[in-house]
Amino acid sequence: MPLGGQSLVAHAAQNLLAARAAGDDRVRVLVVTAPAFHLDAIAGELTGLDADVTLLVVAGGATRQASVAAGLAALDSDARAADVDVVLVHDAARPLAPPSLVARVIEAVRDGHAAVVPGLPVTDTIKRVAAHRGVVVEPVLETVPRAELRAVQTPQGFARDLLVRAHAHGAEDAHDEALAASDDAGLVERLGEPVWVVSGDERAAKITTARDLAVAALPTENTE
C-alpha cells in the first residue's frame, strides 16, 4: 500500500533504521515477515537500505503471534544476528512512528526494563460491558478510570531472551486467531513478567482504513 509514493513497509523500515538511541545504539538487523506469495515484492520495496543492515524477508504465519515467532526463528538461524540482545516488534501499519519513539523504546530496554511498550493516554470515556454476540444493546458493568489507561502502539521492545521465552510459552496458541496474543507484551504478561510503558507518539497511529491512509498523507510538522 503506497503512502506519499512509498510503501508503508518501506516507511516503517526507514524510520526504524533512522533511530539513534543513547550511545549510538541502532537497529542493525531487520527481519520482515510477509505472506509467502509477497516475499519478492516486499524485498524489492526494501532495496537500497543502509548497507550495514542485515535484511531478512521471511514468510509469516496465520496470526500476528505466529508471524513474530517466524521472525524470531529467522533471527536465531542467522549467524549475523547472534549478538542481538534487544528485539523491537513493529507493525508496518504504523509506518510513521518516528525515529525518536524508536530510540525511546530502545533506551528503556537498555535501562533494564525487559519489556517496553509505547502508549498514549486514553481521551475517550471507556465503559466495560457484558458483551454478547448478536446482542444490539449491551449492559454497562462499569466505567473504567481512563487516567489508568494507555492506548498501546509499536514498536514494542524486549530483551531478546525474554521475548523468545514468552513465545515458547504461548506457542500452542500461536496459530489460532481466537487464542493468539494481540501483541507481544501480552505474551510477556502471561509469563507473569512486568511490562513497562513509555510515552507514545501521535504519529505512530495505526493505518487500518482508507480514512486512516488519507489522514496519514496530510502534512505534519516535523518535531524530530
CATH number of the domain encompassing residue 16: 3.90.550.10
Of 70, 78, 68, give the one whose Cα is nearest residue 29.
78
SS3 70: helix
Q: What is the pLDDT of residues 106-156, one digit of tens each?
A: 999 999 999 999 999 999 999 999 988 777 899 999 999 999 999 999 999
Question: Residue 212 corresponds to which cell in the numbers above?
Answer: 486512516
In a domain, 42, yes or no: yes
In a domain, 90, yes or no: yes
Total structural domains within the chain: 1
Of 12, 149, 140, 147, give the one whose Cα is nearest residue 88.
12
In a domain, 167, yes or no: yes
What is the structure's pLDDT at 176?
Answer: 87
What is the structure's pLDDT at 37?
Answer: 95
C-alpha distances (whole Å) from 64 to each of 71, 102, 161, 179 are 11, 20, 19, 11
Q: How far apart are CA 116 and CA 108, in angstroms?
A: 7
- Below-70 pLDDT ranges, the chain: 221-224
In a domain, 152, yes or no: yes
What is the structure's pLDDT at 126?
Answer: 94
What is the structure's pLDDT at 64?
Answer: 94
Structural domain including 138 reads: 2-211
In a domain, 92, yes or no: yes
In a domain, 222, yes or no: no
